[in-house]
């Protein structure tokens, strides 16, 4: 199944479940507090998902490894390489 | 250093047994070059050093797309120094793109594994023995270098670049759930037949091409292992990531989302 299809199915399922519950289509005698929460639930979940995304991206940017050693090592190896290659007859 | 493997797919595609002697394995490095006159000798020297130190059988295939700066002449000198059994020159007339460069290179590769990497020193050959070790460890079809896990990282990116990179990767992970942490990376080891198969199937260009390879690999139930690498961006002065690239990345991502 395509990723897009999976998403549409998943969202469709959640949407119809929410719609069914809020419009009383399932004949469930939900208590009033439940109904109160159910109504804004999608909006709440959406905003939560957005915050989660921001959190994850922020955290991963903050912990993005800066490879200082790699650069130092590369720079010294470049010098070594240039010397060795010139010895072997390379004209840069 | 934390190396991670990815999950296996369902039905296994035929995979060579692990018992094959490592003396029989040969690794072909594909180096597409365009105006890399200064970097080419250095990357070749580093490759030779890494392979020789680990006693690995290798060849380096330099695919130059008619560089006007004399890259080809430098490549010829390197061939003289290291031998034409180690350095293979397979140039092309003009700049034709990465996918076709790989196809061209594979045709001439005599190894049973192919390594693709950048020729501008952003990828360090010292990771190649680790790729090989990882591949043997899990009998993986593909080993991908990742900048986003374990000890992996980048040098030379400012905050904006990091945000774009992590943000794009996050969206990609959510939408495609690819089973690999670094989709746009281009430092990878493939079994030769796997690379051949994947290139046939891929239609995108640029960053998205690398992403599509991994996504198609998962579709075909190939196994993917990961090794953290360091990426040294030496062109960080220039704005390598313009609005155009971001737009085409998003277009490509949505295409993959809708078609795979």
Cross-chain Cβ contact A84/B155 below 8 Å: no
Burial (Cβ within 10 Å: 0-12, 13-18, ≥19) of residue B129: middle
* pLDDT, tens digit, 9 for 90 and up, residues A13-57: 999 988 888 887 776 777 778 888 888 999 999 999 999 999 999
With residue B34 as reference, give the H or E element that holds it: none
Q: What is the mean pLDDT of chain A?
A: 89
Considering only CB atoms, B45 lies closest to which of A3, A53, A84, namely: A84
- In B54-97, which residue ranges form alpha helices assigned H by DSSP? 71-82
A&B contacts, CB < 8 Å: 86
Write down the domain spans for chain A.
1-30, 40-92
Q: Which domains, ranges and CATH numbers included, belong to chain B?
A: 27-259 (3.90.550.10)
In chain B, count H helices and then E strands: 8, 10
Q: Across residues B231-257, what is the average pLDDT?
A: 80
Share of chain B above pLDDT 70, in %: 88
The residues, ordered by sequence, that sit 6+ positions from B91 with a Cβ below 8 Å of its Cβ are: B62, B63, B64, B65, B66, B72, B75
Q: What is the ipTM of this complex?
A: 0.86
Residue A63 at interface with chain B, using a CB cutoff of 8 Å? no
Share of chain B above pLDDT 90, in %: 66
Q: Which residues of A touch B169 (CB under 8 A)?
A: 60
Q: Across residues B238-258, what is the average pLDDT?
A: 83
């Amino acid at each position: 199944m395509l990723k897009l299809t999976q998403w549409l199915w998943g969202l469709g399922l959640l949407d119809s479940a929410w719609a069914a519950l809020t419009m009383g289509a399932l004949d469930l005698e939900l208590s009033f507090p439940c109904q109160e929460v159910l109504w804004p639930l999608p909006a709440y979940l959406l905003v939560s998902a957005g915050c989660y995304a921001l959190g994850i991206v922020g955290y991963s940017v903050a912990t993005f490894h800066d490879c200082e050693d790699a650069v130092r090592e590369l720079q010294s190896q470049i010098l070594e390489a240039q010397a060795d290659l010139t010895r072997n007859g390379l004209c840069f | 250093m934390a190396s991670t493997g990815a999950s296996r797919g369902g039905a296994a595609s035929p995979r060579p047994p692990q018992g094959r002697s490592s003396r029989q394995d040969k690794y072909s490095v594909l180096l597409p070059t365009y105006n890399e006159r200064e970097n080419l000798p250095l990357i070749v020297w580093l490759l030779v050093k890494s392979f020789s130190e680990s006693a690995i059988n290798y060849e380096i295939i330099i695919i130059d797309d008619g560089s006007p700066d004399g890259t080809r002449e430098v490549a010829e000198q390197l061939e003289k120094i290291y031998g034409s059994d180690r350095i293979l020159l397979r140039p092309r007339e003009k700049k034709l793109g990465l996918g076709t460069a790989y196809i061209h290179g594979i045709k001439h590769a005599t190894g049973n594994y192919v390594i693709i990497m950048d020729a501008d020193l952003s990828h360090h050959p010292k990771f190649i023995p680790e790729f090989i070790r990882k591949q043997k460890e899990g009998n993986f079809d593909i080993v991908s270098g990742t900048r986003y896990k374990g000890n992996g990282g980048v040098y030379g990116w400012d905050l904006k670049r990091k945000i774009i990179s992590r943000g794009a990767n996050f969206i990609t992970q959510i939408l495609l759930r690819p089973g690999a942490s670094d989709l746009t990376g281009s430092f990878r080891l493939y079994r030769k037949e796997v690379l051949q198969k994947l290139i046939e199937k891929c239609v995108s260009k640029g960053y998205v091409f690398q992403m599509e390879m991994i996504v198609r690999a998962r579709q075909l139930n190939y196994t993917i292992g990961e090794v953290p690498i360091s990426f040294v961006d030496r062109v960080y002065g220039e704005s390598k990531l313009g609005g155009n690239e971001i737009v085409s990345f998003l277009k490509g991502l949505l295409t993959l989302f809708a078609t795979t």
